[in-house]
Amino acid sequence: MDPIREHLHRHLDELTDRLAEWVAIPSIAGDAEHQGDLRRSAHWLAGEMRAAGLEASVLESGDSWAVLGEYSAGPEAPTALVYSHHDVRTVKPEEWAETEPFIPVRRDGRLYGRGASDAKGQALAHVWALRALRDLDGGAPMNVKLLIEGEEETGSPTLAALLEKHAERLACDVIVFSDTVQWKADAPAPVTSMRGTVNATLTVRGPDRDVHSGVVAGTTVNPAITLAHALAALHDEQGRVRVPGFYDGVAELTDERRSEFAALPFDEHDWVVRTETRVVNGEEGFTVLERLWARPTVEVMSLIAGDPLGLPRSVIPRDATANLSIRTVADQRIPAVAEQLRGFFASVLPAEAEYSLVIDEAVGQEPYESPSGPLLGALERALERGYDLPVRGRMGNAGGGPADLLTRTFDAPILFLGTGLPEDHWHSSDESIDLRMLHSGAASIAHLWRELAEVLSARP
Ligand SMILES: [Zn+2]
């Protein structure tokens, strides 16, 4: 067996126990009640980094704390910056069946608990990869800086300022982004693109106040119906987004990219089972994986009007609100998409409709595509060694992240290496991490530093 895989396998129980201890800290983002937990989570990680021989600092950022762990191989060695996060999504404890969100449980080869996969498992895999290289080789062959932020789940509102403030300390030759999923535990493939994301909230107003429908039904505007009409107009029968101009910026899907996706072992039934999505739907003319990674989407995340909770009051509601999530692909840009949405709703809503459309452009994230070349080759070799399996195909990441911000700030290319799986229930109940992914993921990371050091040191 590969010595790195063997070493990490021997320490997998210990690594899992450490992860469980960390997951028990409810570092929920964007919740004032949990600010102390975010701070505790940051200090926990800093301690874990120091135990692995790294220098660690906790950096205050906005309402949270980021952790910077630094491993130095010397001034001549190339440098990688790793990005991940330790904050987690909020929970609905009543919907958790396997465990309480913050009382981690190990079961059937998985560790359950909020943040186990998104993204504490990924961040800790990095720390343990460096531990393995310290134990086996005396250290990594390149400089590694682990930046684990604490505001990812609220859209990283102060990350840009944090990067700016510590720009010199974070300077790097390559960025490794570890907040993504792998294709399958037994079919590793590199992620080479990430969709962008932007949210919009549409509120349609009706009467001045909730009014008993028995008094006015049939005589006034019902904002729930007006909103439903507008949302129904978003897609045509072929599943295409009807917002004018929406596809103008979309780069054409090349034959090469199509064949990279097609090379992944994909079975529609298996996909539906793993994602618990029941049925496959979407844009005609594209495969499921093409829709997922190379096509932009508009989805409705929530729809609120009237009395969604408690006893119905039989009133025509004062207003109706929908929250939209827009996923973009290269080369769309958020300001253009925002403009297109404004134009679209102005045209589909009745002229007399009173409404507001709020688009969070500032916390939106642009899409990103990794360049192909020797760095990607290094990542593929690292995955093959870390998983001890052949790499077939290449994939994308359907969700967003601050990839574009990182690459612009440091003028360095990004490689994606995550340890999650689509079936891990990110942001949902019963989140868990497959312990095989923790093992193979950490082994791949350790191999990546070896492979990258070789590629980067050979550069003129
Ligand atoms: Zn995440």
Whether residue 270 is contained in a domain is answered as no
* pLDDT band, residue 1 (cuts 50/70/90): confident
Q: What is the mean pLDDT of residues 348-375?
A: 94
Whether residue 182 is contained in a domain is answered as yes
Distance 115 CA to ligand 1 centre (A): 8
* pLDDT band, residue 73 (cuts 50/70/90): very high
Say which CATH number the domain at 11 has.
3.40.630.10
Q: SS3 for the chain, per residue?
A: CCHHHHHHHHCHHHHHHHHHHHHCCCCECCCHHHHHHHHHHHHHHHHHHHHCCCEEEEEEECCEEEEEEEECCCCCCCEEEEEEECCECCCCHHHCCCCCCCCCEEECCEEECCCHHHHHHHHHHHHHHHHHHHHHHCCCCCEEEEEEECCHHHCCCCHHHHHHHCHHHHCCCEEEECCCECCECCECCCEEEECEEEEEEEEEECCCCCEEHHHHCCCCCCHHHHHHHHHHCCECCCCCECCCCCCCCCCCCCHHHHHHHHCCCCCHHHHHHHHCCCCCCCCCCCCHHHHHHHCCEEEEEEEEECCCCCCCCCEECCEEEEEEEEEECCCCCHHHHHHHHHHHHHHHCCCCCEEEEEECHHHCECCEECCCCHHHHHHHHHHHHHHCCCCCCCEEECCCCCHHHHHHHHCCCEEECCCECHHHCCCCCCCEEEHHHHHHHHHHHHHHHHHHHHHHHCCC
402 pLDDT more than 80: yes
Query: Last residue of some domain: 311, 343, 363?
Result: 363
Owning domain of residue 354: 196-250+296-363
| Percentage of the chain lying above the pLDDT 90 cut | 96
Q: What is the mean pLDDT of residues 337-351?
A: 97
Say whether both 11 and 85 belong to one domain.
Answer: yes
Distance 210 CA to ligand 1 centre (A): 39
Distance 437 CA to ligand 1 centre (A): 16
Q: What is the pLDDT of residue 399?
A: 87
Whether residue 31 is contained in a domain is answered as yes
Say whether both 230 and 170 belong to one domain.
Answer: no
Distance 416 CA to ligand 1 centre (A): 13
Distance 88 CA to ligand 1 centre (A): 8
Say whether both 177 and 318 belong to one domain.
Answer: no
Distance 108 CA to ligand 1 centre (A): 23
Distance 118 CA to ligand 1 centre (A): 4
Distance 402 CA to ligand 1 centre (A): 11
Say whether both 161 and 233 belong to one domain.
Answer: no
Model pLDDT for residues 310-321, shown as the tens digit of each residue? 899 999 999 999
Distance 201 CA to ligand 1 centre (A): 22
What pTM was estimated for this model as a whole?
Answer: 0.92
Say whether both 334 and 392 belong to one domain.
Answer: no
Distance 406 CA to ligand 1 centre (A): 15
Distance 302 CA to ligand 1 centre (A): 21
Q: What is the pLDDT of residue 400?
A: 86
